Amino acid sequence: MVIGIDFGTTFSGVAWATVADFASDQINLITSWPGSGREEGKAPTELFYEDDQIFWGYEIPDDADPVRWFKLLLVKDEDLTEETRSSEFLLRGRKMLKETGKTAVGLIADYLRLLWEHILETVKKSRGEYVIDALRFHIVITVPAIWKGYARQGMEEAARKAGMLSSRPAGETMLSFVPEPEAAGLSTLCEPGRKAQPGDVYVICDAGGGTVDLISYEIAQVNPIAMHEAVEGTGGLCGGIFIDEAFEHACKSRLGRRWDHLSKAGIKEIIKGEWERAIKPQFTPQSFKKEFTVSIPAEAFGKNSLDDMSREPYIKKGRIHFSRANIQDAFKESFAGIDKLVDGQVNKAQSQGLDVKGIILVGGLGASPYLYEHLKDRHSGAGITVLQSGGMKPRTAICRGAVYKGFLDGGSDSSGAQQNGYGVPAPISVTSTISRTSIGVVYHASFDAIRHLEEDKQWYPDEGEWRANNQIEWYLQRGDNVSTSDPIRHNFYRLYRKDFGGAFAVELYECEDHNAPTRLEKTVVRHCKIDCTLDVPFESLEDFTSAETGSRMKKMSFDLEMVPSGATVQFVVYIDGRRQGSQNANIRF
């Protein structure tokens, strides 16, 4: 069984399917949640701690001040823009970390533990406990495309702490990751009626609560669909929470000191009830409504009048009467960020002579009719169609796509070890991706006075030559289109005077510059360390004679292979042409 989890900044969703389900084009969604009496595609990504109890999602009491936005805290400050670092949401999130005494990983683990319990309970109710106990699990968690390796590793640590990978009689549970926009592309581009043609390019805009991620795919073939990433994906923090923040600010500004009289339950009634459930998901400037009323709890007014006609928007009988322009203002900053991202993808694709046919909206904010109309108006002149699924589909596209990813990969765990495929025909596949960073190995090269710096020059007595240290052999450069079926491999060696016990390590480095340097510089940082174990006797290694002393040494030659795939980078070590098992390679970010 593949279980796709869309762990979002503001809401989280889950989809699942057995092999038989997927073969019959059936992906199941969880739409029933504790504390909610109606069907919902997602549950709030929120926690509330009281005494020894943890409440989550819809269970949280109305008068509580929940811990939220903790997903954003997995990213290090230095990897955020200055504007994002000072965001009200990050500041509030850090404050909540201090108040709870937990780490971001700890909070995510608490949420995933409760979510996982609900997933198991829901699936068992649907299929029966004995059936479920007999199935192996493959969990696929979606992550923002802009996340770096350490953030994904934090998610893996949280999943383990949550007990999601605990031992089961059916066998080991697999865990893998997929970028959110890639998951969206998998679930939306093979929907009935899409009629994609070879050469068509579609921009997937995953507009969520916190991040907005974009990825562009070119269709290579149809029936089944095979697509590859057309240009490097982009993303930013300009999602729905920033629209909510702008609306809350508008209410605060209009009410003034009366806002301070509101209880937490009262504020929740305005933001969650009046705004998030009523106005925001339905608003469009073309609406027949000229104004939108927001009821303010009576506690805000106390003994004072429920009317205030001194300035617009007017307050009548305890209701703020917002005009269409007032509501539009709340969307402005977020939409400006989305426009910049979408325009960037479209322009980059068109500059390469690609035919951009459509923009597909997914995610919570992606379901907004206003965002749909806004992008449609902006791009209609260029002949680009804006597409949006109906019903719950925009909100659940990510978790449904995660299920696709699980079956398409045929099972590869977080260390990159390939498992046996599930044997299910795939209606869609991603054949290659664009690298978002340059990744390589630091090595020493034969010194060349024209190409190398004098400061890197060093004499190597065993090889009997001058060499240049701090040189980098890049596996791939940022922006390269790397096919997952065409791994990249380089050969290296180590010299040993005595038996080293079989353990050796290789460090990989990365650089986000568009033109990566050829040597180790400030912009080049460590990506990860790979710990490996030699599985052949030391005596069987190739003999090597030192050029300086003539002493006998051993030379260990190995190939290091890297395959970028989705949100993970797979590393495989070969010695004497034999692939080493995944248990011999431990990737540490």
* Tens digit of each residue's pLDDT (9 = 90 or more) over 8-63: 999 999 999 999 999 898 999 999 999 998 889 999 999 999 988 999 999 999 88
Whether pTM exceeds 0.75: yes
142 and 30 both lie in a single domain: yes
Per the prediction, the chain carries an average pLDDT of: 88
- Same domain? For 454 and 553 the reply is yes
pLDDT at 164: 97
CA 503 to chain CA mean position, Å: 33
Are residues 143 and 267 located together in one domain of the fold? no
Q: Are 481 and 446 spatial neighbours (Cβ–Cβ below 8 Å)?
A: no
Angle at 587 between CA 583 and CA 589, to 5 degrees: 160
237: which 2 tokens? 């923090």
Same domain, 515 and 443: yes
pLDDT of residue 506: 87
With respect to residue 118, please indicate whether it lies within any of the assigned structural domains.
yes
Last residue of a domain, one of 330, 355, 373: 330
Cβ–Cβ < 8 Å for 154, 141: no
Is 429 inside a domain boundary? Answer: no
The Cα 104–Cα 21 span in angstroms is: 35
DSSP class per residue in 146-186: T--HHHHHHHHHHHHHTTTT---TT-PPEEEEEEHHHHHHH
* Model pLDDT, residue 389: 67
Beta strands 315-316 and 319-323 are antiparallel
Rounded to whole angstroms, the Cα distance separating 25 from 516 reads 44
DSSP β-ladder status, 319-323 and 174-179: unpaired
316 and 350 belong to one structural domain = no
Helix axes 88-100, 240-255, angle to 10 degrees: 90
Are residues 461 and 511 located together in one domain of the fold? yes
CA distance 216 to 345: 7
Residue from 177, 183, 164, 170 nearest 18 by CA = 170
Instruction: State whether 316 and 346 are in the same domain.
Output: no
Per-residue pLDDT of the chain (589 residues; tens, 9 = 90+): 999 999 999 999 999 999 999 989 899 999 999 999 888 999 999 999 998 899 999 999 988 888 988 998 998 888 877 777 777 778 888 888 888 889 999 999 999 999 999 999 999 999 998 888 899 999 999 998 878 878 988 999 999 999 999 999 899 999 999 988 889 889 888 877 778 899 999 999 999 998 899 999 999 999 888 898 999 888 888 999 999 999 999 999 999 999 999 998 999 899 988 999 899 999 998 877 889 999 999 999 998 999 999 999 999 999 999 999 999 999 999 999 999 999 999 999 999 999 999 999 998 899 999 999 999 999 988 889 998 865 567 788 899 999 999 998 764 444 333 343 577 777 888 877 888 888 899 999 999 999 999 999 999 999 999 999 999 999 888 888 777 667 788 888 999 999 999 888 888 899 988 899 999 999 999 888 888 888 889 999 999 999 999 999 999 999 888 876 654 567 788 887 777 644 344 555 5
CA–CA distance, 123 with 20 (Å, rounded to integer): 15
Unique residue bearing structure tokens 């909540």: 96
- Our CA angle for 553, 558, 561, nearest 5°, is 165
For the stretch 553-566, pLDDT in tens is 999 999 888 876 65
**Is 402 within a domain?**
no
Amino acid identity of residue 123, one-letter, is: V
Long-range contacts of 53-58 (CB under 8 A, 24+ apart): 54/110, 54/114, 56/110, 56/111, 56/114, 56/115, 57/33, 57/114, 58/33, 58/34
Which of 164, 182, 200 is the endpoint of a domain? Answer: 182
The residue written with tokens 């073939």 in the block is 221
Whether 228 and 255 map to the same domain: the answer is no
Tabulate helix, strand, coil % of the chain (nearest 5).
Answer: 35, 35, 35
Q: What is residue 456's predicted lDDT score, i.e. its pLDDT? A: 96
Q: Is residue 408 part of a domain?
A: no
CB contact set of 154 (below 8 Å; sequence gap of 6+): 74, 104, 105, 108
DSSP 315-381: EETTEEEEEHHHHHHHHHHHHHHHHHHHHHHHHHHHHTT-EEEEEEEESTGGG-HHHHHHHHHHHGG
Is residue 485 domain-resident? yes
Number of domains in the chain: 4
In the chain, what is the straight-line distance between the N-terminal and C-terminal CA atoms, in Å? Answer: 29
Which domain CATH number covers 213? 3.30.420.40
Q: Is 147 domain-assigned? A: yes
State the Cα–Cα distance between residues 391 and 39, nearest whole angstrom: 12
Residue 115 placed within a domain: yes
Q: Kindly state the tokens that stand for 1.
A: 């069984």
H or E element that contains 44: strand 43-44
In this structure, the answer to whether residues 152 and 30 fall within a common structural domain is: yes
The CATH number covering residue 537 comes to 2.60.34
Phi/psi for 501 (5° steps) reads 85, 0
One-letter amino acid at 392 equals M
Shared-domain flag, residues 206 and 85: no
Q: Are 123 and 60 in a shared domain?
A: yes
Q: How many residues are there in the chain?
A: 589
Burial class (CB in 10 A: 0-12, 13-18, 19+), 465: exposed
| Calpha distance 397→402 (Å, rounded) | 9
With contact defined as beta carbons under 8 Å apart, do 464 and 547 qualify?
A: yes
Domain range enclosing 207: 185-235+342-395
512 inside domain: yes
Asked whether residue 154 falls in the same domain as residue 215, the answer is no
Rounded distance, CA 15 to CA 119, Å?
A: 9
pLDDT at 568: 55
